Structure 1
Amino acid sequence: MFEGQPKGLYALALANTGERFGYYTMLAVFALFLRANFGLSAEAASYIYGAFLMTVYFFPLFGGMLADKFGFGKMVTTGIIVMFAGYLLLSVPLGGDTVALAVMIASLLLIGFGTGLFKGNLQVMVGNLYDDPRYSVKRDSGFSLFYMAINIGAMFAPTMAVKIKEYAEVSLGYSSNDAYHFSFAVACASLILSMVIYYVCRGMFKHAEGAGRAVSKEGETTVEELSPAETKQRIVALCLVFAVVIFFWMAFHQNGLTLTFFADEFTATTSEGVQAMAFDVWNLVLVIFIVYGGFSLFQSKTSKAKGISAAVIVVAVGILVWKYQQLAGTVNVSAPIYQQFNPFYVIALTPVFMAIFGALAAKGKEPSTPRKIAYGMVIAASAFALLVFFSLGLPAPATEAGPDGKPVAVHVADVTPNLLIGTYLILTFAELFISPMGISFVTKIAPPKYKGMMMGGWFVATALGNQLVTVGGLLWGPVALWVCWAVFMTVCIVAAIFMFAMMKRLEKVC
């Protein structure tokens, strides 16, 4: 699984892991912070949440254009600095008045612009590593590994967000609202780590920092020329894919909005037994060790490696059994913690997906990237179908006046946590069919002179989808809960049908 990949992949993945850890720590509590600190309704909070996500994924278009001219490495470095300034500003507790709101918006713009310079261009650099013929056949698997690595940061982020907030409240005596800013400060530290990793390991990928270039086997840089007709064909194909992924991200990124509201207002706040163990991130880490140990056990070529793999599995299982025996009573479950399940599933399932697609490729039956994306949309629709079914009969969301007169969400039901845990599992299946495959498709199909801009186009599609996340906030309350989920189910189905209709045209450029 890890063999035959360029060394620069792991360095760039680690640099991105640090940045993503800070971003998702902030995002895990951001929607709840907006409502608690500023007394915003679900609708108003969704506008700000959606607009922020849109900036994060829209600015890569401009970042890509700048990188096509000035180089990807320069834009990545500048992006880290700008993001740091934004997170630093967001970390300052200023209260909940108009000035505080204005400062927060300014910080979000800095974070969005900095991410635009950093995120897409770093991924183009990953793609550039695979322009070398020695690694070209490993492109899809390489992006799967890259995607898995950055989700390591995302997996720990919700736990960090909750724990650091609790520490600020209990140990440092900060108010509930001010304590949120400590979660935001984590992003500052993580960006410093990303910068250190990037420059310490730069020698592994420096050849991929240039603009509009492909790396040859001999390490030289060249510019690939395409005819105007072929360039147009590729750009049209990419735009068709972009149109579909808009609606995936619209549905998927409900994880930070309506799915978090659902966890906060409709899902049981305590858990016990085996289910309770799922809310301890270290237990999830042990499960990951078991999964990877299992793959290593069967794939290792020496008895020593097999023995080490077996030992890792035995130790991990033993620790889990011991921890289960230590359980007593119930554990409290905070709404943001559910966001750890998606990155956990990404990390745990990536080797499974790679093994399946590798086996299909060996038989000449691996689906094309556009077909994988279409399958992913169908899977995403099934996740929301599950929510529709189990939301039938549930009451509508409700609010009441808090001590300061601001509206506060009311906990109205105790649905089993297994519903959200299962929903995140299905959505992660969909994500693994769409996101890493889509990014790989862009770096492979994009005309070399427009790689940065086309990767920016992928993020613009993501940005538009993130802006449409707001639809969830608009539906939260005015309509029956099952109707809210049905809207996203329908959107995913329609997008899948469109993708299948365009399949012949898309597969021509693969």
Structure 2
Amino acid sequence: MFENQPKALYALALANTGERFGYYTMIAVFSLFLRANFGLSADTAGLIYSIFLGLVYFLPLIGGIMADKFGYGKMVTIGIIVMFAGYLFLSIPLGGGVTAFIAMLAALFLISFGTGLFKGNLQVMVGNLYDTPELSAKRDSAFSIFYMAINIGALFAPTAAVRIRDWAETSLGYSGNDAYHFSFAVACVSLIVSMMIYYAFRSTFRHVEAGVGKSKKANTTVVEEELTPQQTKERIVALCLVFAVVIFFWMSFHQNGLTLTYFADEFVNPKAEGVQTMEFDVINLVMIIFMVYSSMSFFQGKTSKAKLISAVVFLAAAGILVYKYNNIGGPVDISAPIFQQFNPFYVVALTPISMAIFGALAAKGKEPKAPRKIAYGMIVAGSAYLLMVLASRGLLTPNEQAAAKAAGEAVPFASGNWLIGTYLVLTFGELLLSPMGISFVSKVAPPKYKGAMMGGWFVATAIGNLLVSVGGYLWNDLPLTVVWSVFIVLCLLSAGFMFLMMKRLEKVA
């Protein structure tokens, strides 16, 4: 999995991990902050949330076009600085008035614009590392590793967001609304770490920082693949077809920060007892990850020393879990944003297993091409919401639930395990679609339009994120089973369209 990858991959991945940790710490509590601090309704908060997500993923198109002209490294550096300014403004508690609202919108624009300069161009640089014949076969595995690094940052973000908010409220005496700003301040610190990593290891990837056809390494010119106008057109059309499909995946997937968080906040039992409390301790999740990776390392190890180290790590992690199981305390309060830690946990834990499966299929010549993986990912994503349909049977509508709580009536709750299971299935779909989609864009994009085409991938994500707000508008009087069924239908229709276009897509894959 990690063998024979260039050092630059890990440098770029770690730089991205720091940035993503800050972003996901902020996003874990953002929709709840909007409702608590400004008194917004669910649909209005959902609209702001989805517009912000839309800008975060639309502006990489602008950043990519600029990078194609001025260089990827330059845009990445400027992006970090702009993002830092945005998070800094968002960290200042200004109350809930008009001035605070305008300041928040300005901060969101800076964050989204800085992300637009940073996110896509960093991924183009990763792809450029694999343009040489000796590394080209490792492109898919490289993006799986890169994607896993993103989720390492995201794994700790919900816990950090909740605990820092609670610490500011209980220990420092800040009001509940002002305490949210301490969660946002974490992003400022993480960006400083990200920039330090980027510049500390810049020498390993400086040769891929420049724009098309140029290399700062030895002042040479990179020989780009020559395509005919017809080939260029075919590739762009194929990419646009993929972009159209993944819109509906991101619309469904990013309900994690909106309707799935609303569900956790309003319909999930706010307390966990017994062994279930272990699920919400991020340390336990990290121990499981250690066990997965040490197991893989043990069976793939080539020396007795490597196998011994792997066995020791596995037993140590298992020992910690046994100790914590034997010392389970009483009931613990469960905060809604904490559920968002399960998706990155699953990504990190399942990536080596996914890579091993596809590696075995590749060895037999049976590995599906990226477009087919994307289509399968859409089917899996739809099935995730089937779990939510089952979880929502017998529950009230959101408005009825709120009215019953306000009247002091007993209300039905769902088990948090339904949400945890939903995130597991969604993650299977994500692993089939997201890293493979990014790799596909990196491979298929015409050389002169790499930045723009990677930006196109993010534009598709942006449109999907704008459509996330649909969940907010549905979140009122409709039965929950209807809300989740909308996402099932959209995912399955998208998968069907993908299979209809499969021959055309696999032609250029």
Counterpart of 2:304?
Answer: 303
Is 1:489 aligned with 2:488?
yes
After superposition, the Cα gap between the structure-2 partners of 1:306 and 1:410, relative to the gap in structure 1 and judged at 3 Å, is farther
Letter in 2 for 1:450: Y
TM-score by length of structure 1 reads 0.97
Shift in Å at residue 285 of structure 1? Answer: 0.3
1:451-491: CA deviation from partner (whole Å, max 9, x where unpaired): 00000000000000000000000000121111000000100
Letter in 2 for 1:141: S
Tell me, yes or no, if the aligned pair for 2:291 and 2:314 is still in contact at 8 Å.
yes
After superposition, the Cα gap between the structure-2 partners of 1:52 and 1:284, relative to the gap in structure 1 and judged at 3 Å, is same
3-state SS, counterpart of residue 430 of structure 1: helix
- Where does 1:315-394 land on structure 2 (aligned, <5 Å)? 315-394=316-395
Q: Pick which of 115-124 and 214-223 moved more.
A: 214-223
1:191-239: CA deviation from partner (whole Å, max 9, x where unpaired): 0001100000000101111112488999862233211000000000000
1:352-409: CA deviation from partner (whole Å, max 9, x where unpaired): 000000000000000010000000000001001111122122101138999xxxx999
Counterpart of 1:118?
Answer: 118
Shift in Å at residue 273 of structure 1? Answer: 2.4
Letter in 2 for 1:17: T
Tell me, yes or no, if the aligned pair for 1:69 and 1:211 is still in contact at 8 Å.
yes
1:335-368: CA deviation from partner (whole Å, max 9, x where unpaired): 0000000000000000000000000000000001
Counterpart-to-counterpart distance in 2, 1:409 and 1:233: 61
Counterpart-to-counterpart distance in 2, 1:493 and 1:276: 35
Tell me, yes or no, if the aligned pair for 2:15 and 2:195 is still in contact at 8 Å.
yes
Counterpart-to-counterpart distance in 1, 2:266 and 2:136: 48
Q: Pick which of 393-402 and 185-194 moved more.
A: 393-402
Counterpart of 1:130?
Answer: 130
Counterpart-to-counterpart distance in 1, 2:463 and 2:161: 27
Q: Pick which of 203-212 and 367-376 moved more.
A: 203-212
Tell me, yes or no, if the aligned pair for 2:35 and 2:41 is still in contact at 8 Å.
yes
Counterpart-to-counterpart distance in 1, 2:216 and 2:186: 40
- Where does 1:55-454 land on structure 2 (aligned, <5 Å)? 55-213=55-213, 221-398=222-399, 412-454=411-453
Counterpart-to-counterpart distance in 2, 1:348 and 1:241: 27
Tell me, yes or no, if the aligned pair for 2:264 and 2:336 is still in contact at 8 Å.
yes
3-state SS, counterpart of residue 398 of structure 1: helix
Q: Pick which of 114-123 and 214-223 moved more.
A: 214-223
Identity %: 68
Tell me, yes or no, if the aligned pair for 2:60 and 2:119 is still in contact at 8 Å.
yes
Tell me, yes or no, if the aligned pair for 1:398 and 1:410 is still in contact at 8 Å.
no
Shift in Å at residue 167 of structure 1? Answer: 0.7
Counterpart-to-counterpart distance in 2, 1:390 and 1:113: 38
After superposition, the Cα gap between the structure-2 partners of 1:210 and 1:288, relative to the gap in structure 1 and judged at 3 Å, is same
1:81-115: CA deviation from partner (whole Å, max 9, x where unpaired): 00000000000001111111111001000000000
Counterpart-to-counterpart distance in 1, 2:80 and 2:166: 28
Counterpart-to-counterpart distance in 1, 2:56 and 2:33: 18
1:412-455: CA deviation from partner (whole Å, max 9, x where unpaired): 43211110000000000000000000000000000010000000
3-state SS, counterpart of residue 278 of structure 1: helix
Tell me, yes or no, if the aligned pair for 2:213 and 2:221 is still in contact at 8 Å.
no
Counterpart-to-counterpart distance in 2, 1:204 and 1:277: 40
Tell me, yes or no, if the aligned pair for 1:132 and 1:214 is still in contact at 8 Å.
no
Counterpart-to-counterpart distance in 2, 1:191 and 1:12: 13
Tell me, yes or no, if the aligned pair for 2:275 and 2:328 is still in contact at 8 Å.
no
Tell me, yes or no, if the aligned pair for 2:380 and 2:429 is still in contact at 8 Å.
yes
Letter in 2 for 1:234: R
Tell me, yes or no, if the aligned pair for 2:17 and 2:152 is still in contact at 8 Å.
yes
3-state SS, counterpart of residue 82 of structure 2: helix
3-state SS, counterpart of residue 92 of structure 1: coil
After superposition, the Cα gap between the structure-2 partners of 1:217 and 1:265, relative to the gap in structure 1 and judged at 3 Å, is same
Letter in 1 for 2:373: K
3-state SS, counterpart of residue 161 of structure 1: helix
Counterpart-to-counterpart distance in 1, 2:391 and 2:84: 42
After superposition, the Cα gap between the structure-2 partners of 1:408 and 1:447, relative to the gap in structure 1 and judged at 3 Å, is farther
Is 1:509 aligned with 2:500?
no
Any gaps of 5 or more consecutive residues in structure 1? none
After superposition, the Cα gap between the structure-2 partners of 1:400 and 1:380, relative to the gap in structure 1 and judged at 3 Å, is closer
Counterpart-to-counterpart distance in 2, 1:205 and 1:293: 29
After superposition, the Cα gap between the structure-2 partners of 1:412 and 1:220, relative to the gap in structure 1 and judged at 3 Å, is farther
3-state SS, counterpart of residue 222 of structure 1: coil
Tell me, yes or no, if the aligned pair for 1:265 and 1:412 is still in contact at 8 Å.
no
Letter in 1 for 2:359: G
Letter in 1 for 2:59: F
Shift in Å at residue 410 of structure 1? Answer: 10
Q: Pick which of 324-333 and 499-508 moved more.
A: 324-333
RMSD: 1.9
Counterpart-to-counterpart distance in 2, 1:167 and 1:250: 33
3-state SS, counterpart of residue 412 of structure 2: coil
Tell me, yes or no, if the aligned pair for 1:214 and 1:223 is still in contact at 8 Å.
no
Letter in 1 for 2:445: A
Letter in 2 for 1:68: D
TM-score by length of structure 2 reads 0.97
Letter in 1 for 2:16: N
Shift in Å at residue 155 of structure 1? Answer: 0.2
After superposition, the Cα gap between the structure-2 partners of 1:295 and 1:401, relative to the gap in structure 1 and judged at 3 Å, is closer
Q: Pick which of 327-336 and 352-361 moved more.
A: 327-336
Letter in 1 for 2:331: T
Counterpart of 2:458?
Answer: 459
Letter in 2 for 1:169: E
Letter in 1 for 2:395: L
Counterpart-to-counterpart distance in 2, 1:106 and 1:411: 42
